[in-house]
């Protein structure tokens, strides 16, 4: 199961950090971020299996706009610069198409029995998705269905094997790596892995 609240909380932390680092706008009152996080957590608790992931992201976006309106109307809390909310919504928008594509009616396809079995020579690698998250494909192909879980950036993974097929992505030729994350095995592009 996708950790919906966890992903959005991480996005919120990134937005708060960027807001603190900006020199051209005032740093938002911490209470603004607390309210945004409360809305994320509350909405996460209300999620049901009947809603698509994309609908959930849009629901959170609506709640963020509500927090912005409340902040603007509250005389006791300095109004946060609109970039705080816009930045969060831009991050959501960046995630939303990926979520949408993975929540279409796709059959669950188990990994084939011929999948490589664990060996004693596992390698470890850290994901490098530039602050985003990675889908785990069920087969080593770009068009393959994905598991209903995403790997956050900078996650240490167990690498089990590599695909024989290679793809060219942005001028870089690479294979798919068979990885295990939270008990789920699947394939991600080796472009997104850093090895020590």
Residue 94: per-residue pLDDT: 56
**DSSP state letters, 56-116:** HHHHHHHHHHHHHHHHHH-TTSPPPPHHHHHHHHHHHHHHHHHHHHHSSS----PPPTTSP
Handedness of CA 12, 16, 17, 22 (dihedral sign): positive
Please state, in angstroms and rounded to a whole number, the distance separating the CA atoms of residues 136 and 45. 24
56-80 confidence digits (pLDDT tens): 777 888 888 899 999 999 999 999 9
Is residue 108 predicted with pLDDT exceeding 80? no
List of domains in the chain: 4-102 (no CATH), 123-194 (2.30.30.40)
pLDDT bracket for residue 51 (50, 70, 90): low
pLDDT for 101: 42
């Amino acid at each position: 199961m996708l950790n919906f609240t966890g992903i959005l909380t991480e996005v919120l932390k990134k937005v708060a950090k960027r807001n603190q680092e900006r020199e051209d706008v005032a740093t938002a009152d911490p209470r603004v971020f607390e309210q945004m996080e409360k809305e994320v957590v509350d909405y996460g608790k209300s999620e049901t299996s009947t809603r698509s992931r994309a609908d959930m992201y849009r629901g959170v976006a609506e709640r963020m706009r509500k927090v912005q309106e409340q902040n603007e109307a509250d005389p006791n809390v300095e109004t946060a610069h609109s970039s705080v909310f816009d930045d969060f919504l831009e991050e959501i928008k960046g995630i939303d198409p990926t979520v949408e594509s993975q929540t279409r009616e796709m059959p669950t396809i188990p990994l084939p029995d011929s999948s490589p079995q664990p060996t004693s020579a596992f390698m470890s690698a850290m994901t490098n998705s530039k602050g985003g998250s990675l889908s785990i494909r069920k087969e080593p192909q770009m068009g393959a269905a994905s598991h209903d879980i995403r790997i956050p950036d900078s996650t240490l993974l167990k690498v089990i094997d590599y695909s024989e097929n290679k793809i060219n992505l942005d001028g870089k030729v690479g294979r798919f790596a068979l990885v295990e994350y939270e008990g789920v095995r699947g394939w991600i592009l080796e472009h997104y892995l850093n090895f020590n």
